[in-house]
Amino acid sequence: MNPARRLLLSALLLPACAERRGFDRGHGEAAEHFDALDPTARDAAARAVGEGLLRGTGAYRLQPGDRIEVLYHTDNQRLRPYRLSIGDEIEFDFAFDRSLNRQMVVRPDGMVSLPGQGEVRALGQAPAALSAAVAQRYREVARDPVVTVIVRRFTTPVDDLAEVVRNGAEGRARTALVRPDGLLDLPLVQGMRAAGQTLDELRQDLDAAYARAVGGVRVSARLSAIAANQIFVFGEVRTAGAIPAPTPRTLLQTVAAAGGPLPTGAMDQVRVLYFDAAGRPRLRQVNLTRVLTELALEEDMVVPPNATVYVPPTTVARVGRWVDQVIRQIFLFNGTSVSFNYGNSFRFPN
């Protein structure tokens, strides 16, 4: 037999070195093969894929750059009284002598000056408590003095929330951006962990934070804008590169969004490098051929943000490229030509 023919046939007859069984594994973990799952676990994995698409943002985990709209709902009967802070602008209304009326700012030492009655501590006082304390000061000069303290301007982190809390405005909303470090800043709640959380988990954390801070406030949250989420696809696809993914997509949908596989693509060995909810890297191999022909949805997955998808070449494609890159060079070195078309047929030198 011609030496070139023997070499090429031996290459084609080599057993495929790539494992075609679908699996998922983390760093340092044993691979969990999908075909080894019991029927109950297989059905649960298949349902998780469908539910991940149907739930949409319910299953979506926040990431830096996402914009969140938080809607505040208040219960005035459960709200804690606001306490004055340094820099707050307050107005005293003396019902018994309007000539004493004036506006003041709580000084850095926490005090304010009263007309003809020296100083009184305002820092940390509820407006009603300060009103009673000031009225007590004027009992020497007036019978049953009535004094009202009105807060005109807030200067604490509660500024943005004060109108909602104190006026009982239902349905007031604030928007915030998840910072590059994954934290979220809202009135009274600074540096709340958001990245990696679902919207429902974030809402629960915010409810707990506002219950501690002011009481009587609950929130609802929605995604008003999703960051430029991308999935990176390369290998044997028609359009390799970063694929925008504004909504949840399965692996099969992601490959389709990249133009679909080339004839040389091994759809039974598609790999995904992604990160789980705890930020740990994981590798998944999916037999998309089974997904398409046998509805093996337990192998497919909703691709997380910023995952990397690789469609490897088939065995025939690998052999063909080996011929092009190695055997051709050998024969060229010896002054002999050989050509190989791994998509259609072989041609050997006579």
d(CA 125, CA 218): 25
241-244 sheet: strands from edge to edge: 32-33, 23-26, 281-286, 270-275, 308-311, 230-235, 241-244
- The beta strand positions in the chain, using DSSP E, are 23-26, 32-33, 67-74, 89-94, 102-105, 111-114, 118-121, 147-153, 172-177, 183-186, 189-193, 217-225, 230-235, 241-244, 270-275, 281-286, 308-311, 339-340, 346-347
Q: For residue 224, what pLDDT is reported?
A: 83
For the chain, which domains are there? 3-11+316-347 (no CATH), 19-60+228-311 (3.10.560.10), 67-79+159-225 (3.30.1950.10), 89-153 (3.30.1950.10)
Q: For residue 204, what pLDDT is reported?
A: 93
Q: For residue 71, what pLDDT is reported?
A: 85
Q: For residue 235, what pLDDT is reported?
A: 94
The one-digit pLDDT tens for each residue of the chain (350 residues) are 555 555 444 544 444 445 578 888 888 888 888 888 888 888 888 888 887 777 665 567 888 888 999 888 776 555 667 788 888 899 999 888 888 898 999 998 989 988 888 899 998 888 889 999 999 888 888 888 888 998 888 765 455 465 544 444 444 678 889 998 999 998 778 899 998 888 899 999 999 988 887 777 788 888 887 777 789 999 999 999 998 887 788 999 999 999 999 999 999 999 999 988 777 889 999 999 999 998 888 889 988 888 999 999 988 888 777 777 766 666 665 555 555 554 544 444 44
Among residues 116, 118, 84, 89, the alpha carbon closest in space to that of 100 is found at 116
Q: Cβ distance 348 to 331 under 8 Å?
A: no
